[in-house]
Structure formats: C-alpha cells, structure tokens
Structure 1
Amino acid sequence: MSSEDEQADRGAGDAPPEQLALIRESVRRAKTPRAKPRTWRGAALAKDLPVARVLVDKGVLHLDRYFDYAVPEELDADAQPGVRVRVRFGAGRHKVRGGRREGGGLIDGFLVARLPESDYSGPLAALAQVVSPEPVLGDELLGLARAVADRYAGSLADVLQLAVPPRNAGAERRPSPAPLPPPPAPDAGPWARYERGAAFLQSLSAGGAPRAVWNALPGPEWSDEVARAVAATLASGRGALVVVPDGRAVARVDAALSTLLGEGRHAVLTADAGPGKRYAQWLAVRRGAVRAVVGTRAAMFAPVQDLGLVALWDDGDDSHSEQHAPQPHAREVLLLRAAQDGCGFLLGGWSCTVEAAQLVETGWARPLVATREQVRAAAPLVRTVSDQDLARDEAARAARLPTLAWQAVREGLRGGPVLVQVPRRGYVPRMACAACRASARCRHCAGPLEARDAAALRCGWCGREEGGWHCPECGGFRLRAQVVGARRTAEELGRAFPAVPVRTSGREHVLDTVPGTPALIVSTPGAEPVAEGGYAAALLLDGWAMLGRPDLRAGEDALRRWIAASSLVRPHGSGGTVVVVAEPTLRPVQALVRWDPVGHAVRELGERAELGFPPVSRMASVSGPPPALAAFLDAVELPPEAEVLGPVPLPVTAAGRQRRPGAPPPGEQWDRALVRVPPGSGAALAAALKAAQAARMARGGAEPVWVRIDPPDIG
C-alpha cells in the first residue's frame, strides 16, 4: 500500500470498503497535477485559451451542465463565445467534466466560454466544427435563459431552443441595415387620459425605468399608446420589447409603430414570417441594427441591446403560456428581464389579472388608470337580465336569448354591426339534462354526448350512438343544448334576421376587421374582429358556461373575455350597448357592469391570500402514472414548508385528441399532485423538483412524470 493510501486509511477510521475506495481516489486526484489540455488524437491546439466550454443541445435534466472540449488550432479564430458548434458526444469521444464517459455522435451546441485549462486532467475531445462564426448567444441572453430554467425546473438547453431561432445561412450572409439615430420624444397623445400617463412617458424619454400596471381604456387606441411608449424609450437611446398574444395584435402594434416612427426602426418576430425572414429580423436585433421589437411569446427572449422597456399586453391570454418545456409564461420572463437589466416594465390590458394586481399590491409597480369620468365616457352601457326584465318575461332567466337581447340586436342593427360572442366554436352542441342541467355522458367511456341536427345522440369520444339515455341524477329523459357553437348560433340568428348578413369568426377562419355597415358577427372569445367605427351593440351569450368551469380562474377569465369584446363596442354616448346573459348577482358580472376589472382582481387576490392559492403562494403540478408518481413523490426532498395536495386522478384523454404536455395519453389513467409552498420558497421548490427529476432520468425511468411550475389550470 502506498503512503497516500495509508494516510487515507488513517483519516477514514472505520469507513466501509466502498467509502474507503472513494477516499483513496479523491486523495490520488488531489495530488495528481492537471495535465495541459490536449485532444485524444493529439491534434494541434489553440495557443491561447485552448479549452472551450460547451452547452450541448441535450434537453435532459441529468445532462444540464457544461462540457469541456479542446479547441483545435484551425478553429481558433472562429471558436468564439456565443457561436454554434458541433461536438462529439459519445463513448471514447469526449470526457465529461469529472472524467466520466458518455456516448453518441455529433451533436449541436453553443460555445459559452474559452478557458486556459479544464477541470479534467485527461485528454479532451476536440471541437468537431464551428457551424457559424456568428455569435448568437450573448452573456445577457445566457443569464436570462439560466434564470428561466431554474425558475421553471427545466434545462438550459430547452430554454435556449425557445430563445435562439434555428440558423438560416442565407440570412447570416446578408448584412443588417445600419442603425438609425434615436427618434424625437413623442408627445403624450392618448396617454394624457390617464392620471400618471404623461409622467410615465416622460420618465421613459429621460432614461428612467418606471414600472407600471396599465388598465387601458376601451377602444382601439391601446396600440398607439404602446407605440408611444416604445418611441419614448428609443428617444432615450435605449431599446424596447413588446410582447402581444397573437398575430392580429402584432399587426396593430406594427402599424402604429410604422405610423409614428417610420420604417426601419423596429423588427417583427412571429412564426408566420417564415424561418428566413424571422432569423434575419432576429439577427438585426442581435447585431444592434434595430432597437425595438414587437412579437408574440417567442419574442420574449429577443436579444435587444441596452434594453430600456419590456411591455406585455393582455397577460391573461392563454397564448402567453409556452407549451414547450419548461413551459415559461411571457409575463414571468419579462419580469426576470426587468429585474436582470434594470429596465422599465409595462403590463397592460383592458382587464386586470390577479398577478398584475399583486405587482401593484406589493409596491413593485405603480398603477396606470384613468379617472371614473374617463371610464364612463369611453365604455359602453352594460345591461343584464334584471328583476324588471324577469317580471315582464318569466322565461328570461333560462332563455339563451331573452327579450332584452333581441331588443339590443334589433336596435343595434339600425346603426351598425352587432357582435355576438359564444363560448365555443363549431356546430355540434353538447347536451345536458333539461331538468337538472347535469351533463349527458356516454355509458361506455363517460365522454360527452353530442347531437348533430336531428340525428341520434353520439359520444364525442368513442363515437357510440346512445338511443335510450336517461339522467342518472334525476331520472329525466329530456335533453337541452349545453353549449351551442358559433356556427349553430349564426344559423339561428340568420333565420331570425333574414335580411341581415351573418359572418362568423373563429379558429378556422378569424376575421381581422369588418365594415361599419349593419351585420351580425358571431365570434368565439379572442377572435372578435375590429369593426370600423366600433360595434353598435354586443351580446355575450352562455355566460354560465364560462363561469361554471371548475377552475380557479373561471371568473377572472370570463371577465377578461367579456371586457375584451365590450371594448370593441362604441361608447355609451354614441349608443353602444352590451348585453351579458349571465346571473346578474355574480361578482364578474357586476364588475363588467361597473367596468371595474381592477377592483375584481384586488378582491380575488385578497381571497386567494386567505386560502393560500397562487399567486400568493407558489405551486407546482406533478403528474404521471400512479406508481411512477408515487415513487417520485417519495424520492423528492421538498422544502420543509411544502404541502402536497393529492394525488388525485386526472380526466382520461379522449382517443385521437391532441394532448397538451403533462396530459395523460389516450385511454390511460394518470394521477396529479399539487405541491404548494409559501412566498419566498419557490426557488427551493423548483430546485428540489429538478433534482428529483434529474435523478429519475439518470436511472432510466421508463414511465413519464411531468413537472410544471405555476400550472395555469389547477382546478
């Protein structure tokens, strides 16, 4: 035995043989001098900084770390931090930091740093190729991606797949345009309608970093107000980033920026632009040729130089929640950017989410609201089915279109188009018991029963026909439509108003604008087109279907969708009227009547604080097959203050339906557990879940377990 082994044995005491062997190995490595970096083939190395630290494109948690490679002399000039590279990732081809071998072929990655030496003393595999000398991953973007990965218990490689678009060689070869000088500071314009609006704009123009939650007045002026905030930031010599829910909103902000600033001062980043054009626009931003960006959620990582403002419109829209791992939300990413870069922050919308109210409640942001006089002047008249209406029409409470709604349609069509919002698209209605309103379910798979015209009932999941249905709750045999789709509603209205054109706007065909002539526009939530001069009236149908969802955010989402549709209606002074068909005493309905989304959000926040629900607490969802989920929960080392709710069964996914990440496969039963921690423990919860998931993947767990931080739907 060597003297080193004797020293290790004396220091180890009565350690078991396995531990003694580890101690001997650690002592040996500590006394072994580090070898100079060299490749396993003995190729000539770069003279300065011969080690490249690489992030490989492997989005698995147990490989979420950097790997060291040697830099060959011929790649020295191009192998700079931030470039794309290809490396050998396989047994006998490279060494992991620490000396363990892994195995595969060529794989893409990013070179994140050049170092004089590696932590590993053995031979390193050489960089196989520098894909492009264009640096696409800067320190700021890398730091943001790491922060997002840690917050959402994900891998850095997965975040960078969302942040850096795929390479397009043609776009890289074309030079970006020369940057334009800063524009002049804009005047307040419509921002003067808000109590602190002009001061907010002046602060941006002066190089400040104000943070505000903006409750926009109804109407189409919001895009001009966003453009003026961007122009004020550019006037200070800094950059601005705007994230909106969809392509239609991008087009409105794009048009407003072009009108206010002219061409060439901003870039548009959307998936609809195509890979070549989108990558060219992204490169122009990365190179500093363009300082302003507007886009959908993919633009939240846009590498804007000297960032002075991040803005998000309508943070309650589902489109802001990324469906690819680790499923970050645009609002949280922009909050991280505002904290990381010390820039201004603007969260705006016609409505107000509970998360936005919390930012104001904690003092992190200031409210940007208009006076009640301004709100009353800009908002339409909102009416509900009142007690007087019920006295005149006893069936008004149960009718889908009560007399008040028919009157509003007839009066509105005299002066312009009328908007009709329905909760779902399509034609086939879901059925329910006419007596007790219990959903009609298939006896074989518990799927929803549907009716197509006069045909027999058919299951929407398994397709079986149902001939002798009766209600298992009350024994009734009569059915009624539970939620009627947009196309069915359009047909019914077309028969009632045969001389009026009827158009639909939904998932298959979304209208952007409609003329100001009399017409009926039937739309699903979020697909409402803008009418020239505004709608004369609007009907918000089937409110009970939106409010009756078994979800924590049902009331908040219903109010947001109602206010978004009502904001397209003319002001009350111009005859604009909105009729909402829902129980008038419910809190979201009353908030709509008063046009007070901020008050509704503040009250919701107070109730959630009492119950310990998000966003006051941090929550994670863990789902998977029952045995795998139970094993995961037993293995994870949660913070002491964590509370596990469940697990409970998840609904079985219908066969053939596209499922979201974390949803059970068709026909398979999964369980879900919710893990809740108090404020301040979110980082510890994410780290614990990530460590447990990485350990499970390293062991080769066959059954999937999905982890999601801040799930949007918790029931």
Structure 2
Amino acid sequence: MKATRKKKPLEDVTGTDPVARVLLSSALPHLDRPFDYLVPASMEHTAEPGRLVRIPFAGTDAEGYVLERTAASEHTGKLARLRRVVSGVPVLTPATLELCRLVAAEYGGTLSDVVRLAVPGRHAAAEEAVLKAAPVVHAPVALGEDLHGWQRHSAGPAFLAHVRDGSSPRAVATFAPGSDPFALLAVAARAALASGRTALLVVPDHRDLDRLSAALDRLVPEGHVRLEADAGPAARYRAFLEALTGRARVVAGTRAAIFAPLPNLGLVAVLEDGDDSHADQRAPYPHVREVARLRADQAGAAALVAGWTRTAETQLLLESGWARPVLAPRDVVRATAPRIALAGTTGPDAQDPLAAAARLPSDGWRVLRDALTRGPVLVQVPRTGYVPTLACQTCREPARCASCHGPLAVPGAGERATCRWCGRPATDWTCPTCHDTRFRAVVTGARRTAEELGRAFPGVDVRTSGGSHVLDTVPDRPALVIATPGAEPVAPRGYAAALLLDGWALLARPDLRAAEEAYRRWTAAAALVRPASEGGTVFLVADPQAAPAQALVRWDPAGFAERELAQRRELNLPPAARFAGLIGVAADVEEFVAALPDLPGVRVLGPLPVPDQPGRAPMVRSVVRVPRSESAALALAVKNVTAGRSVRKLPLVRVRVDPLQIG
C-alpha cells in the first residue's frame, strides 16, 4: 500500500498588513485588476509594495507586483499565500505605477501591459552587482557659459536658465542648420543637474544613442547610463537599477528608457519625435512623445521635444499653450543653411517641363560634379536593395507573385525577379491586367544607384549606408555616399552637397504623414551639408510645388507644421481628432464596433481589407474616429470591449489608439 505524504504545514501569516494586493503579469485583458494574497510571516519585511513576487494562480505559478499591503481583504473566500519574493528591491515605484496607469488610460490598454514595458525582466547577477556596489557621491554641477549653440536659438538660453533654477519649462525646439543636436541635449541635461535634479534623454535609435553618449561624456562630468532594449537583459536591468537607486542621475536611451525610474526628475527630452522608432510595437503601443508629456505633468519636470522639424502633434502642443517654441531667427538660418535647389527650377532645366520627372536632371549632375571637387557628396535614396519594386512595363500595374501574391523585386545585378514574401522566382510571370511579360522598375534602390553613379564617376570612392550595413562617419575627402533615410553618416566638416533622389516616392506614400515624413527626412539630410557660404548645396528631385519641397527651400519647419495641422483640422484627422485602429477577422471587427458605446461625434471608417500576408487568414481594418474632446471616452470604451471579449473567450481584435498608419 502506497504511503501518503504529509502536507507541509502552512506558514503563519504576518500580523502587520497581512494582505498583499498583487498585479498579475498577464496579457489577458479581463485579468487587469489586483488580486489579494496572504503574506507569510517570513515575508513581512520583504513583500513590500513594488516588489516582484511569485504567486499561485489558476493551478500554476505566476509572477506579479505587490501594489499595496492592507489590513483586510474585500474578498470573502479563502486567500492563497505568496510563494516567494523575487526581486531584491522594489522595482515598481509609486511614481512609475502612477505613470503606467496614466499611459494605460491614454491608450486604452491594460496596466500589466504597460508595466511590462516600464520594468525590464529581472537579471539576478546584475541586481546583485548594483546592490553591492559602493554608494555614489555626486559632485555639484554648474551649467557653465558655453551653451554649445543654444544661444543661436530664440528663448534657448532662457529655457536653460529656467531649468537650472529649478523651474519646469516646456519647449518645442527646432534646431538651426549646422547645430549639434546631441551637444544641445547634453547641455540641457547639465542644466537639470545644476538644479539638483535628474535628466532623461530619449533618442530614436542606437546610432543616435552612440552620438548622444559621446556628447554626454564630453559635457556632463559625472557621466550617464545607457538604457536600451538592444543592449541585452543584463545591461538593461543594470541601467534600470542604477537609475532607480540614484547611482545615475542622467539616463540616455531609446524608447525603452522613457519609463526609467529616475527620482527627482528635472528634465525629460525627446529627439525627433516624428521618427517611427518612438512608437512601441507592443500593446498598448504608446508613443514616447506622449509618455514624456504625461511624465512631465506627473513629475512637474521640464520637457523638451526637439529636432530639425516639428510634427503636427508638437505643433498642437504649442497651440494649446502646453509648450513654448524655441527656434533660430531667420538671420541665423540664412547664415547656416545650405543653398536649396529644386529640380526643374534653375538653369537650363527651368525651361524643360520634364526635368523634374527625370531621376537626376542635368542640373543635378552639375551640382554633383562640382561638389566632388570639394568634398564628400551625400545621395539620399528612399529604399535599400537593388530594384525593390517592380511593375508591368505596359500598364504599370504592380507586379505580384502568382503563388502568394507578394511583391516582386530584383535582389541584385544580373539576378532574376523573385517574390519578396515566399522567395520564388518569377520565371513565367504574366501581367493579369494586360498580359505583358515585361517588368519596369518602380523604385531604384541604394545598391543600384551606387552602381550607376560609380560608372558615371570612375575613380571616385562610392560608399553605401543602409539596411544591415550602416556607416557612422565618412572621411572628409571626395566620395559618393549613397544612403537611405536615417542611415546618413556624418562628415567631419559637413557634406559639400546632398542629392535627394526619388522625392516622389516619399510624397506618394498612401499615408497620412507622408508629407511630414518626407520633409523630416529631407531636412535631416540637408542639415548635414555645409552652409551656403561654404558652397554647400542641396538638390531635391521632387515636385517643386509640393508643400514639403517649398518648406525645405525656405527652411521653414514652423510654417510647414502650422499648415499641416491646419489641414488636419479641416479634414478632422489626427491629432485634431482621436482614432482607434481595429484589425481582425471581418466578423470579429464588426462585433467589436457594434459593442462600442455611441460616443458624441463618433464615426466608423471601413472596414477595408488588410493586404494579404502569407499564411494568415484574411483580415480587415476599421477605424473609429471621435473628436479630441472624447479621447478619454474612446480609450476607455475600447478597453472595456476588449476585456469583455477576453472574458467570454472570443477572438481578440488588435486595437491601436493613435495608430501611426491609418490606411
């Protein structure tokens, strides 16, 4: 007969606040609420609010965070006990918890989803190393007299002075051409340190972070920590703990850093908020700019949203009075900006109506030849690859794979057209519209452009930057640098010229932000070129009447943003209105929309089919639009409907409030 094993006696419960309210780490929306557990006597002093704990839940072990300790529970049934305290320090601070609640309410998400973004996964070795490290004594920091370019911007020195004096100004800064944006951010962080507070700086990607780190090493005596998801679990958790414990007073990072638990926060700054890297790709898809805005309000900190251009969202912050503008006067812009030339508007090509349609008109060739005698030349191409997009030679219908309907492309010189989805060669392709069998290139990629320009200028060094191979710098000698947007390397003295090719490809994107994004990318490239007084020239191949092209000629980011926001208001588009994008199977999306309350001014757009993806069921997209005054109501409505579907175990619909792409 098999002997029965005696159960281990339950440990006594602590007499001091014996109930712990725990936030379960779960992706299920209907579990987005605290659960009560008893605290064993051995955990009386460790199971404190903010600690990561292990708990029994639904027959298995789960993790969660202690939100608070109470004397009694409202639950009338029997309570389970905490199994173990995992973290050696309270990692979910009250300020971070409140910020997560604000973000969840802003985006209609669950608190546990936002906490998962805010608190990185625990790494025991990193935790032990930080907690055993000797305390850090921070020396006083002075702002100093060298403002590294802030004095060239109206209200720039005043902004720094207010931060240094302990105030909390909010600014949208548009940097002058030729400025070092990373040095400007470092000086702003120094002003926060001079006030006895901390600073948080967020940039789009790791290349920007490398440059910001170098600037901080030069200008901030006590250094900083880098917080980025790409650094790996140990490095990210260590940086998180150094911020939490006060060992670091300046945190620089990518979007993972926006929740860094810095005590006594004095400044939160975001560089280039229009870069789509600032939008998180995990639910509830928060944007760094909006989290920074919420955090500045919550902590009473100064806020800085800076870049070469403004987005419609930052223009709305200015017009609402939340922030003040900081920008360069016109005389400074004229002295520092390169000369801007548009295809088909100058020289002999001004008489040729087809000049602007050429990929590189004769005026562009002349600019390129002249500049190559004086230094490196930047050539910006919208796409990587060789010929990334093909179409029918006769009817211009996009070429699609006969097997999976994916787009066809030419990977390299002398190679056959293949499908970018399934990789099958298009050996017997025939256009389903006109039955032609010939292709034409819709977009020429960076590799093909480098090949063509290399043949046109034999003996000139040709470098490419984009995709998996991105250059940080190039030597200050004649060379052709072919780069995709965002991958432009820096030349020590600036480029002698820049050619911005295929502007129509950026402007023709079926996207609400196409014009804004084109202008941002063109301006970022033009800012790397020498001033006109030193011969610097930017040649843009695009429709000369397009608003972004005209704004580039005038170097007028403020005027462009004002115009963009005014048009969005007229059309009732974001940020003048609030949108929620819904993606799922048609029947599920229809049920979701039907379950939404009848909000004032609500309108449903769609459904429209989502482009086919290999191996996936057909999906549709609907967009729910409400006036901006109903933002909070919309976020709450989509959260409640999602939770209701989750508890009934219905297929979930992917919801994204303020989606970057509407169409």
Alignment TM-score, normalising by the size of structure 1: 0.87
Moved more, 705-714 or 446-455: 446-455
Residue 457 of structure 1: CA displacement? 4.4
CA contact (8 A) 1:186 1:228 kept: no
Quote the Cα distance in structure 2 between the aligned partners of 1:288 and 1:457.
56
Alignment of 1:699 onto 2:648: yes
Alignment of 1:56 onto 2:56: no
Moved more, 283-292 or 538-547: 283-292
Moved more, 329-338 or 404-413: 404-413
Residue 167 of structure 1: CA displacement? 1.2
| Deviations 1:599-626 (CA, angstroms, capped at 9, x unpaired) | 1111010011111100011110011001
Equivalent of residue 128 in structure 1, options 83, 91, 100: 83
CA contact (8 A) 2:515 2:548 kept: yes
Quote the Cα distance in structure 2 between the aligned partners of 1:230 and 1:190.
14
For 2:315, give the aligned amino acid. Answer: A
1:357 is paired with a residue whose SS is helix
Quote the Cα distance in structure 2 between the aligned partners of 1:62 and 1:186.
53
Residue 590 of structure 1: CA displacement? 0.7
CA contact (8 A) 2:149 2:179 kept: no
Equivalent of residue 162 in structure 1, options 99, 108, 117: 117
Residue 687 of structure 1: CA displacement? 0.7
Alignment of 1:511 onto 2:468: no
Give the match for residue 353 of structure 1.
311
For 1:472, give the aligned amino acid. Answer: T
Alignment of 1:368 onto 2:326: yes
For 1:69, give the aligned amino acid. Answer: Y
Residue 476 of structure 1: CA displacement? 7.3
Quote the Cα distance in structure 2 between the aligned partners of 1:449 and 1:275.
38
CA contact (8 A) 2:579 2:624 kept: yes
Would the alpha carbon gap of residues 124 and 464 (structure 1) be closer, same or farther in structure 2, given more than 3 Å must change?
same
CA contact (8 A) 2:25 2:63 kept: yes
Residue 441 of structure 1: CA displacement? 3.9
Would the alpha carbon gap of residues 391 and 172 (structure 1) be closer, same or farther in structure 2, given more than 3 Å must change?
closer
The equivalences for 1:331-346 within 5 A come to 331-346=289-304
Moved more, 671-680 or 464-473: 464-473
CA contact (8 A) 1:625 1:704 kept: no
CA contact (8 A) 1:441 1:449 kept: yes
Would the alpha carbon gap of residues 87 and 573 (structure 1) be closer, same or farther in structure 2, given more than 3 Å must change?
same
CA contact (8 A) 2:272 2:306 kept: yes
Greater C-alpha Rg = 1
Quote the Cα distance in structure 2 between the aligned partners of 1:456 and 1:248.
34
Alignment of 1:552 onto 2:512: yes
1:333 is paired with a residue whose SS is helix
Would the alpha carbon gap of residues 453 and 281 (structure 1) be closer, same or farther in structure 2, given more than 3 Å must change?
closer
Alignment of 1:285 onto 2:285: no
2:298 is paired with a residue whose SS is helix
Quote the Cα distance in structure 1 between the aligned partners of 2:167 and 2:325.
17
Residue 157 of structure 1: CA displacement? 1.2
Alignment of 1:104 onto 2:59: yes
Alignment of 1:213 onto 2:172: yes
Quote the Cα distance in structure 2 between the aligned partners of 1:238 and 1:44.
44
Residue 464 of structure 1: CA displacement? 5.2
Equivalent of residue 48 in structure 2, options 80, 85, 88: 80
Would the alpha carbon gap of residues 435 and 558 (structure 1) be closer, same or farther in structure 2, given more than 3 Å must change?
farther
The equivalences for 1:182-581 within 5 A come to 182-187=140-145, 188-262=147-221, 264-387=222-345, 388-390=347-349, 396-433=355-392, 437-442=396-401, 445-451=404-410, 453=413, 457-462=417-422, 463=424, 465=426, 467=428, 469-470=430-431, 472=433, 479-581=439-541
For 1:681, give the aligned amino acid. Answer: E
Would the alpha carbon gap of residues 142 and 498 (structure 1) be closer, same or farther in structure 2, given more than 3 Å must change?
same
Would the alpha carbon gap of residues 389 and 356 (structure 1) be closer, same or farther in structure 2, given more than 3 Å must change?
farther
Alignment of 1:603 onto 2:563: yes
CA contact (8 A) 2:372 2:479 kept: yes
Quote the Cα distance in structure 1 between the aligned partners of 2:348 and 2:546.
17
Give the match for residue 69 of structure 2.
114
Alignment of 1:151 onto 2:112: no
2:76 is paired with a residue whose SS is coil
Residue 139 of structure 1: CA displacement? 0.5
The equivalences for 1:580-599 within 5 A come to 580-599=540-559
Quote the Cα distance in structure 2 between the aligned partners of 1:416 and 1:564.
19
CA contact (8 A) 1:412 1:536 kept: yes
Would the alpha carbon gap of residues 454 and 283 (structure 1) be closer, same or farther in structure 2, given more than 3 Å must change?
closer
Residue 465 of structure 1: CA displacement? 1.9
Alignment of 1:613 onto 2:562: no
Quote the Cα distance in structure 1 between the aligned partners of 2:624 and 2:396.
34
Give the match for residue 3 of structure 2.
none
Quote the Cα distance in structure 1 between the aligned partners of 2:582 and 2:170.
34
Quote the Cα distance in structure 2 between the aligned partners of 1:74 and 1:528.
57
Quote the Cα distance in structure 1 between the aligned partners of 2:335 and 2:624.
46
Would the alpha carbon gap of residues 438 and 585 (structure 1) be closer, same or farther in structure 2, given more than 3 Å must change?
farther
Alignment of 1:634 onto 2:582: no
Residue 325 of structure 1: CA displacement? 1.2
Residue 648 of structure 1: CA displacement? 1.4
For 1:173, give the aligned amino acid. Answer: E
For 1:325, give the aligned amino acid. Answer: A
The equivalences for 1:26-37 within 5 A come to none
Would the alpha carbon gap of residues 272 and 440 (structure 1) be closer, same or farther in structure 2, given more than 3 Å must change?
closer
CA contact (8 A) 2:645 2:652 kept: no
Give the match for residue 624 of structure 1.
584
Residue 74 of structure 1: CA displacement? 1.0
Quote the Cα distance in structure 2 between the aligned partners of 1:59 and 1:155.
8
Would the alpha carbon gap of residues 317 and 502 (structure 1) be closer, same or farther in structure 2, given more than 3 Å must change?
same
| Deviations 1:30-76 (CA, angstroms, capped at 9, x unpaired) | xxxxxxxxxx9753111111111111111211000001000111111
| Deviations 1:203-233 (CA, angstroms, capped at 9, x unpaired) | 0111011011000112252111111111011
Residue 171 of structure 1: CA displacement? 2.0
Q: How many positions carry a matched residue from both structures?
A: 649
Residue 397 of structure 1: CA displacement? 2.9
For 1:255, give the aligned amino acid. Answer: A
Residue 390 of structure 1: CA displacement? 3.1
Quote the Cα distance in structure 2 between the aligned partners of 1:303 and 1:391.
57
CA contact (8 A) 1:54 1:69 kept: yes
Would the alpha carbon gap of residues 569 and 437 (structure 1) be closer, same or farther in structure 2, given more than 3 Å must change?
farther
Residue 372 of structure 1: CA displacement? 0.7
CA contact (8 A) 2:21 2:68 kept: yes
CA contact (8 A) 2:450 2:464 kept: yes
Quote the Cα distance in structure 1 between the aligned partners of 2:350 and 2:314.
40
CA contact (8 A) 2:486 2:521 kept: yes
CA contact (8 A) 2:475 2:491 kept: yes
Would the alpha carbon gap of residues 221 and 78 (structure 1) be closer, same or farther in structure 2, given more than 3 Å must change?
same
CA contact (8 A) 1:193 1:374 kept: yes
1:367 is paired with a residue whose SS is strand
Residue 366 of structure 1: CA displacement? 0.6
Residue 469 of structure 1: CA displacement? 3.8
CA contact (8 A) 2:344 2:355 kept: no
Residue 292 of structure 1: CA displacement? 1.3
2:355 is paired with a residue whose SS is coil
